[in-house]
Amino acid sequence: MALRSDGTVWVWGNNAYGQLGDGTTTARLSPAQVSSLAGITAISAGSDHNLALKSDGTVWAWGYNNYGQLGDGTSTNRPTPVQVLNLNDIVAIAAASSHSMALKSDGTVYAWGRNNYGQLGDGTKTDRLVSTQVSNLNDAIAISTGDSHSLAIKSDGSVLAWGNNGFGQLGDGTTTEHLAAAQVPGISSVTAVSTGMGYSIALKNDGNVWVWGYNYYGQLGNNTTANSLSPIQNTNLSNITAIASDKLAHSLALKSDGTIWAWGYNAMGQLGDGTYTTRNYPVQVPGHNSFVAVWGGLYHSMALKNDGTVWAWGFNTSGKLGDGTTTSRTSPVQITI
């Protein structure tokens, strides 16, 4: 997905569950507008469902809904956007594989969808078709959803985590899951968080990056493939302004000089360095700078330049790169929107 400055949403790629929101299940190789949406201020893409935040503070969802991740009180797939029930005054949204979250203006967080590991944070493992409040959490300023765990930043810069912890992705030094939000010890002054499948990344206000959890493919970027149950600094990175992780096992960071650095799994060229070589340390996406935002998807990556152009690379099944083809790319290609 892409959000234009005029508040319109543009989508492309796989559409098997109606996740493009155009009323069909036809894949698109190039961006097309979601005609029923306007006045959008933020978007978030899950595995097979999507969320959009409107300027009036309401949340809209479409696509796959087997676990209630659309939050409309049903488990019915929706090929066009429907309003998420019982939510207003929302300022941030996050979509995962099969659950969703929203942050309210008062600092409380709400979640819905699958809850088999407690990723909704409501103290249970009960799936929810409508939003439920995350326990033990208020004064939040940012959120992120992983495959089966979730993170939030509080206004004091501390991080809270809940859900699956099989690889230490909650960062508390154990592999014990949490059904409600619990503080991640040993890390503070955090300004951004990102969650992958079994791992977590945090950006501190000094431009340094901290990582923890699953590391089989080197997705922690610390020159090893050893898991970490607690946050550790990625000493290969500095002057970072934004971070991103995908739904599987690669990670991205944007530096203050506009360059992008990537690490982890690379079987589909998702690191953008012109190779298919998996890396356990960050490598620069060559030949490009002036980036201002970065995003990681399943086996692919996207970035926004300061001139408003969008670039993508990696696996291109169903046209997910949006360049009009199904050809995978090991280096960035521009998308016309």
pLDDT of 97 > 90? The answer is: yes
pLDDT at 81 over 90: yes
Measure the CA–CA gap between 250 and 170, rounded to whole angstroms.
18
> In the numeric block, which tokens belong to residue 20?
């493009």
CA–CA distance, 210 with 47 (Å, rounded to integer)? 25
Percent pLDDT > 90 in the chain is: 99
- Asked, for residue 137, whether it belongs to a domain, the answer is yes
CA distances, 203 to each of 45, 57, 157, 237, 271 (Å): 21, 27, 10, 10, 20
Determine the Cα angle at 103 with ends 97 and 109, to 5°: 85
Instruction: Find the mean pLDDT for residues 261-269.
Output: 98
Question: Per residue in 252-264, pLDDT tens?
Answer: 999 999 999 999 9
Within 121-197, residue ranges assigned H as helices are none
Examine residue 287 and state whether it is found in any structural domain, yes or no. Answer: yes
Residue 285 lies inside a defined structural domain of this protein: yes
Q: Which residues pair with 83 in a beta bridge?
A: 60
| pLDDT tens digits along 50-65 | 999 999 999 999 999 9
Contact 47, 97 (CB under 8 A): yes
Has residue 247 got a pLDDT over 90? no
User: How many folded domains does the chain comprise?
Assistant: 1
| pLDDT for the residue numbered 293 | 98
Evaluate whether residue 28 is within a structural domain.
no
DSSP string for residues in 213-266? E--TTSTT-SS----EEEEEE-TT--SEEEEEE-SSSEEEEEETTS-EEEEE--
What pLDDT is recorded for position 233?
Answer: 98
| Antiparallel, parallel or unpaired: β 140-145 and 149-154 | antiparallel
* Of 278, 193, 206, 313, nearest in space to 244 by CA: 193
As beta bridge partners, residue 212 has: 200
* Position 22 in a domain: no
* Per-residue confidence (pLDDT) for residue 126, from 0 to 100: 98
With 90 as the cut, is the pLDDT of residue 116 above it? Answer: yes
Strand order, beta sheet including 109-113: 90-95, 99-104, 109-113, 128-133
Mean pLDDT to the nearest integer, 282-293:
96
User: What is the CB neighbour count within 10 angstroms for residue 305?
Assistant: 17
174-210 pLDDT tens trace: 999 999 999 999 999 999 999 999 999 999 999 999 9
Neighbours of 174 (CB within 10 A): 12
243 inside domain:
yes
Q: Which pLDDT tens digit goes with each residue over 306-322?
A: 999 999 999 999 999 99
The answer to the question of residue 129 being in a domain is yes
Q: Give tens-digit pLDDT for 4-26.
A: 999 999 999 999 999 999 999 99
**The domain spanning residue 276 has which CATH number?**
2.130.10.30
The pLDDT value given to residue 187: 97
Q: In this structure, how many other beta carbons lie within 10 angstroms of the beta carbon of residue 274? A: 15
Per DSSP, helices labelled H in the chain are: none
Give the Cα separation of 131 and 182 in Å (integer): 20
Q: Which domain holds residue 237?
A: 57-335
Is 282 among the domain residues? Answer: yes
| pLDDT over 90 at 158, yes or no | yes
Instruction: Look over the chain and give the mean of its residue pLDDT values, rounded to a whole number.
Output: 97
